[in-house]
Structures are given as structure tokens and as C-alpha cells.
Amino acid sequence: MEHTHTTIAVQRYLNELKASPVEAGTPEVVRELLGRSAMRLHLLCSAMIRRSYPRLARPPLNLRSEEMLSAVVERLIKALRESRPASVREFFGLANMHIRWELNDLARRLDEHTPPVEMEEQHIADQAPSETSLTANARRILAALDSLGEEEREVFGLVRMQGLTHDEASEVLGVSTKTVQRRLNRGRVQLATLLRDLEPQDGSSGEHVADV
């Protein structure tokens, strides 16, 4: 029920925003729109950090989903000065894109500007042996997601990243639950083909396409 109320409210603010000229900026409508969708945006930030960028949540960055949400809201405020999403579907697609961009920027800056330091032997032993490769793999996975067809990419964004159920995703997209399931399955097949080399060969745990 809460999801339904959020979807209706977000669409109402989008309608109001679309009716306003771009040059007006409409800061009040944008604030209300982002405030009403904050819970779902927070869920998306948390899920993407956990699934694709876990090392950003560890030292030295210690990224928290609340901090990520704040940065994404700033990005969306700027984006909505020029963009006018027509539907809830388009709005959360825009949010997905900016969350990925923000996380990619943070990961790139961390890689480029973290100075070499002497580490104690125990600290070295505690590090994941493939930390750098995991980051590279996460970027490959996101690039593969971006290469999916629009329908498959949207379903993945809603179900696997935002954590919506199939029924909730069907409501946002305006299609049946069966259609959501078919698109999700098509996306999985495409990702499995694109990222076949990331599948574990010995049954060991690690980054797995099915976990995207």
C-alpha cells in the first residue's frame, strides 16, 4: 500500500513539474518530489553499494547509504532543472543513472588518489585477495547492464537494484507481472552471455552474474 501511495504521489509531482517551464526551476516541486521518493531512493543507494561497490563502504571511504543519498539528491536537483520525466518509470530511470555515475566517480577517485601506505601484515592478510579485480568486475557488470535493451534494463533496475517485487515493478511499468518476469529472464540470459567469464568455475563464492 505504501508503494502504491508513493507511486501516485510521485506521479502527481511529476505532472506538476512537467507543466512548469524549465527556466522556472520550480524548486518547491522538486523538493517535494525528492522528499516523497526519498525512501525508495535510499533503498536503491543501499542496494547498489551492497551489491556492486562493497569496498566503498569500508575504510578509507566508509561510504554510508545516507551520504550517498544526499549526493544523489544534489545530482537530481541539478538534473531536474533541465529534465522533465513524464512518468514514475522515467524518474527512477534517471535516478538509477545518477546513482551509477556517482558510485563510479567515487570508485575512480578512490583508485586514483589513495596514497600507498605501509600496512601491517595482519591488515594485508585481512584484505580480499582480488579487491581490485572485484572493482573492475563491478564496472563490467554495470556496463553490461547498460548494454541491455531498455525493457530489460528497466526491470533489472526496479527489481534487482531497487528491491521492488515483481508486482510492484509491474505497477510502475504498467505491464503484467508475467511480462516483468519475462523481461527479467531475458536480461539474465543476456548478462550470462556477456559475463560468462565471471562465472565461478569451481563452485567458489565471489562475484556472480546471478547476484547482480
Residue with cell 601484515: 121
Location of each CATH 1.10.10.10 domain in the chain: 131-199+207-212
Q: What is the pLDDT along the chain (212 residues), one digit of tens a residue?
A: 566 678 889 999 999 998 887 766 668 899 999 999 998 898 888 888 887 788 899 988 999 999 999 999 999 999 998 888 998 888 988 898 899 889 989 988 888 865 544 434 344 334 444 344 445 776 777 788 888 888 898 888 788 776 778 887 887 787 899 999 999 999 999 988 888 877 655 544 444 554 55
Under 8 Å between Cβ of 209 and 191: yes
C-alpha grid cell for residue 3? 508503494
Closest CA to 176 of 155, 193, 161, 156: 155
C-alpha grid cell for residue 97? 543513472
Closest CA to 27 of 40, 38, 13, 37: 13
**What CATH number was assigned to the domain covering residues 131-199+207-212?**
1.10.10.10
